Amino acid sequence: MPHTYEFPRPALTVDCVVFGFDGSGLQVLLVKRGIEPFLGAWALPGGFVRMEENLESAARRELEEETSLREVFLEQLYSFGEPGRDPRGRVVSVAWYALVRPDQHPPKGDTDASDAAWFPIDGLPGLAFDHERILAMALDRLRGKIRYQPVGFELLPKRFTLTQIQALYEAILGRTIDKRNFRKKLLAFDFLIPLEEFTGGAHRPARLHRFDRRKYDALAKRGFLFEL
């Protein structure tokens, strides 16, 4: 026999902040809403949680349905439940953030999203609902995360230069980093493997590197602090 609740139940949604790095700047994936409310406005990918699915399954389903993204790094961010945040009624949203490479994940709007596109972090349009607040919190989380756990696996190619990983950190932090100090601290952790491969022209070509996943996982398990 179904149970009758004494109190009304709020609706539950998921919203996803998808960060990307194009080699020079940090980007965010947005969708253009194809339905009301906020018809035609840009927003974070997301939607309502179905009765039979858990939160992560809902987030991954909405990402695939609205942007065609699949099998991406995804981590829970925070829950947003301010009354009035959604004009449709009392809606609580559990936010997630993802890290991907834009060149490997070209977006394609679908279901209730009429379009999907990458935007530079410093050139975003106005967002629907309270998505600007969600995005700001996700960016703060990412900036804090890179101080104790490198994120290059998701945002860099498999082979990269030290200049590329420094550009990534500068894009996330929004400021320049001293080159010599950054490389000294990064190489001290011993989870970067120098390769006998180079990129660039004949004058001072840059050596390529890759992550040693085994060493990285062991170090991450013990915990470390990468202060910049």
Of 65, 57, 59, nearest in space to 17 by CA: 59
- What is the rounded distance in angstroms from the CA atom of residue 183 to the CA atom of residue 137? 28
Residue given tokens 């991954």 in the structure block: 60
- What is the rounded distance in angstroms from the CA atom of residue 161 to the CA atom of residue 97? 26
Q: What is the pLDDT of residues 43-85, one digit of tens each?
A: 999 999 999 999 999 999 999 999 989 989 899 999 999 999 9
Would you identify the CATH topology of the domain 152-222?
Answer: Arc Repressor Mutant, subunit A (1.10.10)
Q: What is the pLDDT of residues 10-27, one digit of tens each?
A: 999 999 999 999 888 999
In 3-50, DSSP assigns E strands to 11-21, 26-33, 42-43, 46-48
pLDDT at 103: 87
Instruction: Residue 144: count other Cβ atoms within 10 Å of its Cβ.
Output: 10
pLDDT at 25: 92
CATH, range 11-145: 3.90.79.10
Q: What is the pTM of this model?
A: 0.90
pLDDT at 159: 92
Say whether 67 sits in a helix, a strand or coil. helix
183 conformational bin, left if phi > 0, alpha if psi -120 to 50, beta if neither: alpha
pLDDT at 87: 96
> What's the mean per-residue pLDDT of the chain?
90
Domain ranges (residues) in the chain: 11-145, 152-222
Q: Looking at residues 141-170, what average pLDDT do you find?
A: 86
User: What's the pLDDT band for 202 if we cut at 50, 70, 90?
Assistant: low
pLDDT at 110: 73
